[in-house]
Amino acid sequence: MKKIKTTPLAPQEFEVEQISENEANIMAYPFETGYAISLAHPLRRFLLSSSVGYAPIAIKIEGAKHEFDSVRGMLEDISDFILNLKEIRFKLTGDVEETEINYSFAGPCVVKGSDLSNDEVEVVTPDAPLATLNEDSTLNFSIKIAKGIGYVASEDTHDELEDGYIALDAYFTPVRSATYKIENVLVEDNPNFERVVLNIRTDGQISPIDAFRNSLEVMYAQLAVFNSEISVKAPTTVERVEESPDLKKLTTHIDSLGLSARSFNCLDRSNIKLIGEIAMMSTNDLKNVKNLGKKSYDEIVEKLQEFGFEVGGEIADDVISALKKKIEAA
């Protein structure tokens, strides 16, 4: 006799399989029959449409008036140059939503994505080609890079640009592909439960896990209209950060850094016990630790780098959240 239920089974298992730096499989199970696809399909839509990324929205090239023009000494015409530029993926540093960056190159040389990196912008596709310059040729151009979601046509931004700029179609989405498959999984003696395997591949602007987390937040925000009391914050169970190698390192006691007695005592007297506490500090915060001199500061920075972290460096939000809980519990 079929067992009568009053509520559907809620999935309890969540796994992350890191295939590469920019690709991961996210698995959850067990779902009741039909529930897995009901969850996977909208998540895929949100991943592809609502993930935040960066893209060039306009370009101004010295000596070129429009996209069908050419520049003396450059192998590519402007239309090919723009196509190459769209294949280069940028990431603005800091909390910046739009910036304008000027570049200047002299031939002979091949300009690649790595040549566009500077203090304001990081290029996550360093090997992507941009232009080939002949001897005695120069290439001067400015790019406007913005933060956004989805796709924005050049017609939508053309009127807001200064004279001399060529508007570009902007494809912000950092998710290159998002696919899913539904598999059967056995629960007790019932083989009709389901597991969803969601494969996410990004271009390097964000990690697959961050893209997945963002899509959940967007989904929750959309559902919140039905009940103003619903919390749209992504649950801490999105990723098992307790298993993260970075978290394990960051929750290691500062003894493991092998600091000199003077440097160790300065940190210890300031109640800094874990490596993660140093990694979350800004350079100014660390310099302001009581009685910490320049020599001790340099030693701590060097030892932290050997451990794989930078003072004031970027740490994933979920790792920071889990780390703070560890610090509070210590």
Amino acid occupying residue 282: S
Amino acid occupying residue 43: L
Q: If you average pLDDT over each of 4-8, 139-143, 236-240, 296-300, which comes out highest?
A: 139-143
Residue in this structure with the two tokens 């969803």, named with its chain if needed: 196
pLDDT of residue 95: 80
Asked which of 120-134, 175-189, 204-218, 287-301 is least confident by mean pLDDT, the reply is 287-301
CATH entry 2.60.120.10 includes domain 243-329: no
What is the mean predicted confidence (pLDDT) over 187-211? 90
| CATH 2.170.120.12 domain span(s) along the chain | 53-171
| CATH 1.10.150.20 domain span(s) along the chain | 243-329
Average pLDDT, the chain: 85
Q: How far is CA 150 from CA 49, 55, 169, in A?
A: 5, 10, 11
Which 3 state secondary structure label does DSSP give 295?
A: helix
Q: How far apart are CA 23 and CA 89, in angstroms?
A: 16
Strands (E), the chain: 13-20, 23-31, 52-61, 90-92, 98-106, 109-112, 121-123, 129-133, 138-149, 151-152, 166-167, 170-171, 175-187, 190-202
Q: How far apart are CA 274 and CA 320, in angstroms?
A: 13
pLDDT of residue 158: 84
pLDDT for residue 240 is more than 60: no
The percent of the chain in helix, strand and coil, each rounded to the nearest 5, is 35, 30, 35
257: tokens are: 């850094």
- Cβ pair 195, 50 in contact under 8 A: no
Percent of the chain residues past pLDDT 70, beyond the cut: 92
Contacts of 246 (CB under 8 A, 6+ apart): 308, 315, 316, 319
Q: How far is CA 265 from CA 261, 310, 329, in A?
A: 6, 21, 22
Superfamily of domain 13-51+175-236: RNA polymerase, RBP11-like subunit (3.30.1360.10)
115: tokens are: 């040549």
Q: How far apart are CA 217 and CA 50, in angstroms?
A: 10
**Tell me: the pLDDT tens digits for 21-60?**
899 999 999 999 889 999 999 999 999 998 999 999 999 9
Q: How far apart are CA 320 and CA 235, in angstroms?
A: 14
Q: How far apart are CA 297 and CA 68, in angstroms?
A: 55
CATH topology assigned to domain 53-171:
RNA Polymerase Alpha Subunit; Chain A, domain 2 (2.170.120)
9: tokens are: 């089974």
pLDDT of residue 283: 83
Q: How far apart are CA 30 and CA 194, in angstroms?
A: 5
**Tell me: the pLDDT tens digits for 157-196?**
888 888 889 999 999 999 999 999 999 988 877 888 999 9
Neighbours of 282 (CB within 10 A): 10
